Structure 1
Amino acid sequence: MGLSTTTINRLVTASVTTVVIAFGTVGQAIAQTINGAGASFPAPLYQRYFAEYKKATGVTVNYNSVGSGAGIRQFIGETVDFGATDAPPSQSEKSQMKRGMLMIPTAGGAVAVIYNLPGVNNVQISRQALGKIFSGQVTNWRQVNSKLPNKPIRVVVRADGSGTTEIFTSHLSTIDASFRSKVGTSKEPNWGFTVLKGPKNDGVAALVKQTDGAIGYVQDTFARSNKLQTAFIQNKAGRFVEPSLAEANKAMSGVTFNSDFTADVNDPKDGYPIVGLTWLLVYTDYKDDAKAAQVKRLVKWILTSGQNLNQQLEFTRIPAPVAQRVSAAVDRIK
């Protein structure tokens, strides 16, 4: 039996409607997804942020913890909606960001010095010794303290370009001229002696955990989650301080933010001495109104509701006046 013209028209209309609905659903799904990559230092915090943000808004934020260096490269390559770094991009890197860039400070945190000396607790490391350990000038634990084991020090560092490494080497370069001349401040330095290398913060933590006599550096949350011993590090005031939220807050309390929302926290007056900030990198021009609006909403949530999560994971908050200035800058994203 043949179909009438009316029936055919109805079928065609229904099919077109189905296609439109199907494509509309795909488009909505794409609009509800934001992709980012970068620093491993804040990864535990960002995982929590994005899980809570999805509960609150339904928007999925995919974050790939690849390290600050790789995050900056992906941001330059425009393969992500935002990058993340613990070290401000260099002038050379900024010059390659064709869609502009705004740095969003999200948190501060401590870089813990972790070690593996079975049966040895509460190791104290002086300002004089720390830089010399990480430049290969002090090679045995007994050189750190005569009461420590006569055992070689196995230094563990990052295998990738790392903002955590830049925070750490920047502090050591500030307090130790010999470290500054031999190694210097860098995301991926030439250490100048034999070191063990692990990828990202969790790779360094794992390598220290399995290597007798090892010493390394990780964001404090990774030390705690891996149940690693953390050293007491001598600060500018002369105190030996273990990383903690209270001591990180004390160190960050006097920080002054620059107009681009960077800040110098290389050697604080008191508190835990090795601390740093971490930032999201967002474009100033997204060339897509819907994506720009999504990113702006996410950033504003992080600067307000998200800050309430920071201290639960041992990260410091961004001061409210600074967060308000950043939020005003975010309004100019297009």
Structure 2
Amino acid sequence: MRSTTSRAARAALATTSAAALALVLASCGATNETDGSTGTDTGTGTGTADGDLADTLVGAGASSMQAAMQAWAVNFQTESGTTVNYDPVGSGSGRTQFLSGGVSFAGSDAYLTDEELTQAESRCVDGAVDLPVYVSPIAIAYNLPGVEDLQLSPAALAGIMAQEITTWDDPAIAETNEGVELPSTTITPVNRSDDSGTTENFTEYLDAVAPDAWTYGVVETWPIAGGEAAQGTSGVVQAITNGEGTIGYADASQVGDLSVAQVGVGGEFVGPTPEAAAAILDNSERVEGRPEGDLAIELARDTTASGTYPIVLISYMVACKGYEDQTEADTVAAFIEYVASEDGQQAAAEQAGSAPISDTLREDIGTSLELVRGS
């Protein structure tokens, strides 16, 4: 279990140019605001018919959401005229920038801690909320020529990442890969070098399913030296690609042509498909004791349910409940409303391979957005 005190248009636009994507993902930018307010429609689209939005909306945070954010930002700009600038600096940095007032919203692979919720009381009119809008499997990607299919038990995966299992022909790996010719190649585990919600989600899984092998707890900062560290999701993928015998964890949408392992769940081995990632939400509960409107989810990492992939991340949009400037509040709410809509979720699924959220969760987000607007 994670400790809370540690630390619009329609589906993706196929004709969008690279220049447009670069524009909307540029980091930094001043908000050029206009007067007005948005509608409160919680279905599809942006709900902007009743008023004007800010010309620019600035956010920062999780790099895991970058591919989805590309589609969301382009589509939202097409529908509303608002340019969304999102800097994928990582979850920790995004939350820090949000809490200091540097950006209007944060993208985060981990919900706000109790300490951060307290900080948000000063940053926002009435505190902040975590709204889960992006559900994606964390793939266990590896580079081992000649081995295209790999099955790893939770204990074996934990042992590899803890650097206790050091060669690919180790018996702990071989016993779940009968008939596969495993080389004696040295294993090089690759981890994030920056504070990362992806790391927190991955170590939360390891801590839940293999605490005897993974003794480092749930952390945002990788606790072991000796492997290879890389900045951001793209850095981890590049490091695995460049080194034979490497293995690491990264958002499944960004692993490209790398081989991906299946992990043991109950009596079967499951790969990181969107359907398997979405299944874990059916076995998970909301975190207790959170502020009004906050929708943080406690994932059941140790599930044994068939067809469920438990190494997933839920990325949250972190927003204020009320902003000093009403146009900023309306623009943040309108953007998140589009992101959570059926169209926004379909755009993310097509662009990033994520699992669309349920109708029930979408309705709950709509209710929380009234608080974001200050209603």
Q: Structures share a fold, TM > 0.5? A: yes
Partners in 2 of 1:247 and 1:328 — Cα distance?
A: 27
Tell me how far 1:85 sits from its aligned partner.
0.5
Match of 1:53 in 2: 76
Structure 1 letter corresponding to 2:302: D
* Alignment deviations for residues 211-269 of structure 1 (CA, whole Å, 9 cap, x no partner): 1110000000011xx3111011111x221122112222333333333463111222332
- 1:148 alignment counterpart: 182
Contact 1:116 1:212 in 2 (8 A): yes
Matching residue of 1:256 = 285
Percent identical among aligned pairs is 27
> Which amino acid in the other structure matches residue 321 of structure 1?
T
- Structure 1 SS opposite 2:103: coil
Say which SS state the counterpart of residue 109 (structure 1) adopts. strand
Q: Which amino acid aligns with 1:132?
A: G
Task: Check whether the contact 2:193–2:222 (CA below 8 A) recurs between aligned residues.
Answer: no
- 1:89-122 per-residue CA deviation (whole Å, 9 max, x = no partner) reads 2222222222221111102110000111112110
Deviation of 1:278 (Å): 0.8
Which one of 205, 219, 230 corresponds to residue 237 of structure 2? Answer: 205
| Contact 1:112/1:231 (<8 A) preserved | yes
Secondary structure class of the residue paired with 2:332: helix
Higher helix share: 1
The letter for the 1-side match of 2:279 is K
Is 1:96 matched with 2:119?
yes
TM-score by length of 2: 0.77
Structure 1 residue 239 and structure 2 residue 268: aligned?
yes
What is the alpha-carbon distance in structure 2 between the residues aligned to residue 287 and residue 256 of structure 1? Answer: 33
Higher Cα radius of gyration: 1
- Following the alignment from structure 1 to structure 2, what is the Cα–Cα distance between the partners of residues 179 and 169? 12
1:276 aligns with 2:313: yes
Distance 1:62 1:112 in 2: 27
Say if 1:267 and 1:274, in contact at 8 Å, map to a contact too.
no
Aligned residue for 2:228?
Answer: 196
Aligned to 2:357, which of 318, 321, 326? 318
Deviation at 1:303, TM superposition (A): 1.8
Aligned pairs (5 A) from 1:295-314: 295-304=332-341, 305-312=343-350, 313-314=352-353
Q: Separation in 1 of the partners of 2:356 and 2:33?
A: 35
String of CA shifts for 1:187-207, please: whole Å, max 9, x gaps.
11312x412111111100000
Note closer, same or farther for the CA distance 1:27–1:107 as it changes in structure 2 (3 Å cut). Answer: closer
Structure 1: any 5+ residue segments left out of the alignment? 1-25
Structure 2: which amino acid aligns with 1:187? E
How far apart in 1 are the matches of 2:33 and 2:154? 56
Cα drift, residue 310 of structure 1: 3.2
TM-superposition CA deviations, 1:47-98 (whole Å, max 9, x none) = 1111111111111001110110111111111100101111112222222222
Equivalent of 1:227 in 257, 263, 279: 257
Matched residue SS, 1:276? strand
Across the two proteins, how many residue pairs are aligned to each other?
304
TM-score, structure 1 as length reference: 0.86
For residue 258 of structure 2, what is the amino acid of its counterpart?
L
> What is the DSSP-based 3-state SS (H/G/I as helix, E as strand, rest coil) of the residue aligned with 2:86?
strand
| Conserved 8 A contact 2:191-2:230 | yes
CA deviations on 1:101-156 (whole Å, 9 max, x unpaired) are 11111021100001111121101111220111111111111112273110110010
Q: Would you say the 8 A contact 1:38–1:68 is kept in 2?
A: yes
Q: 1:179 to 1:101 in 2, by over 3 A?
A: farther
- Secondary structure at 2:97 match in 1: helix
What SS does the aligned partner of 2:321 have?
A: coil
- Between 319-328 and 258-267, report the one with greater CA deviation: 258-267
Distance in 2, Cα, partners of 1:142 & 1:264: 35
Cα distance in 1 between the residues matched to 2:191 and 2:94: 19
Q: Partner of 2:298: helix, strand, or coil?
A: coil
Is the contact between residue 130 and residue 317 of structure 2 (CA under 8 Å) also seen in structure 1?
A: yes
Inter-partner Cα distance in structure 2 for 1:180 and 1:152: 20
Paired residue for 1:62? 85
The farther-off stretch of 46-55 and 316-325 is 316-325
Query: Corresponding residue for 1:175?
Result: 209
Secondary structure, counterpart of 1:110 in structure 2: strand
Q: 1:179 to 1:261 in 2, by over 3 A?
A: farther
Partner of 1:288: 325
* Aligned twin of 2:219: 186
> Partner of 2:165 in structure 1?
138
> What is the identity, as a one-letter code, of the residue corresponding to 1:306?
G
Q: Is the 8 A contact 2:137 2:312 kept in 1?
A: yes
CA distance in 1 between partners of 2:213 and 2:118 (Å) = 30
**Structure 2 unpaired stretches of 5+:** 1-31, 35-51, 176-180
**2:159 aligned partner, one-letter code:** K
User: In structure 1, what is the Cα distance between the partners aligned to 2:261 and 2:143?
Assistant: 10
**Greater Cα shift, 153-162 or 239-248:** 239-248
The aligned counterpart of 1:215 is 247
